[in-house]
Structure 1
């Protein structure tokens, strides 16, 4: 059995569109061509993929089981075609970076823009998804570099751990902003914005509050650190988030203070194991590591945070 890219594209288009006519429009094919490709695919794999009902195509349970693998196959083949085009035209290439929400808002856009100022011939694609999906993409070599929450949820990856000391954020007019640093007793009974309620940071905060006999008043959860910050800016309460999003100077009236005892955000920078990077990806990886250095716990990173140093690439306390 030899499946073709066209068959997989037809499967995906029908899965999403639900009809031959809409799938044909999406693929810029004739309706007979779509029907023929689907028929041959079903013959080749040996079972029906869609229920037909008055022109509507509903995926069978077998099609649902195949969906993820087909998507990965199409993405991998598209990656091969892209590489071939780059080789033909002599271009330096492209980079695909993926992240969960933590680094996708305040860090990666800046790193990408700075990198492309120096390497305008390089195209960079940023994908945002869950840590588990990003790890799967890296493991199947669909992307070059991933940034996820540790621990890494998959084998076959090279991972570098970056530990960051989280900060507590509040509006500049909040009485808490007068503190040089903040502890559990300072935030007891305050309106508090969690990450998910069960995130690694949420669990650490809950443990520390319990140790100090203090309680939080949970008002909301945000899933993304950047959204948590937006909620704080809107007057929704206070939050404990990573220093990248917490200390970014956005002009939104939010300030950050160190939280003691330390709450740690564990970030993993991952890449395919045993797979040499292309030149463009290697350069970007080095730029990314440099951008993360000021936020690392210990060494220059911790010293920079505690000293309150300011700068474009260095976290600052307002």
Structure 2
């Protein structure tokens, strides 16, 4: 099997070529979407059609156009985009759901002889697609209920006893991941490492991956996060949340817990002022960007290039394109 060594090289899937896949990952507000469109436009200038594919867990929902910063027609720059707004908010999109759809989408794009450009910052989505998914059996409801009722301090102490290897890799205050690790070991009798060693369905061996991770300077990134959230308010984010609340969806659905939704919902209910919601929403955005930054710096393979950015500008964008195109 041959491998596409550059994104604009011709390839033939039917002949057994391993087709190219560009991946631009970065925290929210890092400029990765603009980079993806610019790369696609450059590829098309070179005669190779390109398609941008979403790997962001908020931008998958049709209900979250503004609050997810989903690209509009102008942002898309004439480039086809897939898996943006593809899920109704009433249906949760798990990492496995998204990876399944992404595999099908990438196969279609490759079948057409085009180059897919995966863009996003949801680490679990990216890892599940590339590496596959662990065959963890369903968690017993009684176990899940008991674990989720524990204060995080008690849950972490229990995890230290029952799965010390996993506990050592987690922060003691990481509510979600600590609970997940504890419920897995209690329900299945094995820790997460046992199941993750048995992952299957990943595409790493079937594509020629061209990854790049954007890591902007932290304070500049946080400033962009603040500006982004304020801009969302100006573009009608409050109305978007009002429409979402009017659907009467389960508050535990991912779309209802997306950044900005709980904060602006309190404005709709009269609990908070808009000023308070903007402050809390901007802080939640910064916290999320910080978690993404940390994950992207340490979790992907060490040989994936990391580009540390000081300022996002035209020259930097050209540098990024050169990394992909040589």
Q: Same fold (TM over 0.5)?
A: no
Superposition TM-score, scaled by structure 1 size:
0.23
Relative to its length, the structure with more helix (as a share) is 2
Q: Between the two structures, name the one with larger relative contact order (CA 8 Å, sep ≥ 6).
A: 2
Relative to its length, the structure with more strand (as a share) is 1
Greater gyration radius: 1
Superposition TM-score, scaled by structure 2 size:
0.23
